[in-house]
Amino acid sequence: MSEDVEGIVVRLLASLVLHGDATFKVPRNENKYRRVSYNNRRSRHRFCLVVYMLAKIHRLQVNGGSYTVRGLYYGDTQLIRTQLHISAARLDVCRMLNTSPTRLGVLSASKGLIAGNIRMLMTNGDVLDCSVYSGAITLPSNTEQVERIVTQADLVLVVEKESVFESLLARDVFNTFGRRFILLTGKGYPDCRTRRILHRLSVECHLPAYILVDADPFGIEIMLVYRLGSQSMSFTSGELATPTLRWIGLHPSEIPTLSIGAVALSSRDNKKIEDILARDHIGAGVRQELLSLRQIQQKAEIESVIDFLFTDYIPNKINRNLFL
């Protein structure tokens, strides 16, 4: 990657010497580009942050190690201004290098939690063994330093929210479910590390992966981020997405028959439904559930079925292949 960074800088210098043009071309979707130029007052700050980020990444590639977004921000608050600015510059560089933030070595605070039958062997010799802890552990800050994953689990279950994750642990699900499994959460919209670990569990460990989200448009979008990748980082979907992920519930079509607590959709919910329906590649089953949601105009949370999740709901869904 250091050679790629050097190539970008060499092309920039050549353009500056030959044409007086200090501009980066940041790829967008469908072979389109956005220009970030020092000559343009509106994008000058963004240009400076991209140069700053390229220098930091090159140093990492030569010397090793990693940075955090927070650490970079506090390293030069006058230049960077806000953490949102440095995060945006990181995304620009990811697009320019066609790679993910985890590959860059510039990391955000880890969100993901994991528990169950899993050991992660790190490149520095450390072992993160969930069986040693009474509860969950936070995913390592750099998942690329996970050299190998060891597990005897039969499946992975992803849950949307930390509250459901903690509730399941409190109910001793590992001893009551009857199958060995790994429990994972990204605490809402997942970060790259959580998505990367799920991808590796699916590809390297050949584990079937299931996801449980709220029966609302934002839960469905979270499921799609795990399965297909995020809209803003679709160029990295190969190593962050898990296309085989099985949506086990809650399905909006179940709301009328489950006799669970439901509330009315908001205008924001309806706008999100239309936004997702306008996308390509979401799948016929997902599209039908979105249409059901729009029709019944109600949504429900996972907590409404928490009492019989592992005694009935999840085993029934898995055994009868009732997933999308």
Q: Which CATH architecture has domain 2-105?
A: Orthogonal Bundle (1.10)
Mean pLDDT for the stretch of residues 213-236: 87
Position with higher pLDDT, 13 vs 178: 13
Q: What is the pTM of this model?
A: 0.80
User: Per-domain residue ranges for the chain?
Assistant: 2-105, 113-319
| C-alpha dihedral, 229 to 2 to 96 to 142, nearest 10° | 30
Q: Please report which confidence band the pLDDT of residue 239 belongs to, taking 50, 70 and 90 as the band edges.
A: confident
| C-alpha dihedral, 265 to 266 to 267 to 269, nearest 10° | -60
In this structure, which topology does domain 113-319 adopt according to CATH? Dna Topoisomerase Vi A Subunit; Chain: A, domain 2 (3.40.1360)
End-to-end CA, the chain: 38
274: how many CB neighbours lie within 10 A of its CB? 11
Q: Encoding tokens for residue 113?
A: 């939690």
Mean pLDDT for the stretch of residues 92-117: 85
Mean pLDDT, the chain, integer: 89
CB-count burial class (<10 Å; 0-12, 13-18, 19+) for 222: buried
Position with higher pLDDT, 263 vs 258: 263
- 3 state DSSP class of 199: helix
Q: Please report which confidence band the pLDDT of residue 185 belongs to, taking 50, 70 and 90 as the band edges.
A: very high
pLDDT at site 236 = 59
Q: For residue 134, give the nearest of 87, 175, 91 by alpha carbon.
A: 175
Pair 240, 224: CB distance under 8 Å: no
Model confidence over 65-104: pLDDT tens digits? Answer: 788 888 888 888 999 999 899 989 999 998 899 888 778 8
Pair 142, 173: CB distance under 8 Å: no
pLDDT at 233 over 70: no
Percent of the chain past pLDDT 90, that is, above it, reads 55
Angle at 191 between CA 66 and CA 137, to 5 degrees: 80
Helix ranges, the chain (H): 2-19, 44-63, 69-75, 77-80, 83-97, 101-104, 162-170, 173-176, 192-203, 217-228, 237-240, 255-258, 267-277, 284-296, 314-319
- 3 state DSSP class of 220: helix
Pairwise CA distance, residues 204 & 193, whole Å: 16
Position with higher pLDDT, 234 vs 159: 159
Angle at 60 between CA 142 and CA 37, to 5 degrees: 105
Active site residues: 74
Mean pLDDT for the stretch of residues 218-229: 95
Position with higher pLDDT, 111 vs 225: 225
16: how many CB neighbours lie within 10 A of its CB? 14
Pair 183, 168: CB distance under 8 Å: yes
Amino acid code (one letter) for 101: P
- 3 state DSSP class of 278: coil
Model confidence over 120-156: pLDDT tens digits? Answer: 999 989 999 987 766 789 998 888 889 999 999 999 9
**Angle at which helices 284-296 and 267-277 cross, to 10°:** 160
Amino acid code (one letter) for 19: H
pLDDT at 30 over 80: no
Mean pLDDT for the stretch of residues 269-290: 94
Pairwise CA distance, residues 160 & 45, whole Å: 36
Pairwise CA distance, residues 281 & 184, whole Å: 25
Q: Which residue has the tokens 């992803």?
A: 158
pLDDT at site 49 = 94
Pair 43, 119: CB distance under 8 Å: no
pLDDT at site 234 = 64
Phi, psi of 71 (to 5 degrees): -65, -40
pLDDT at site 133 = 67
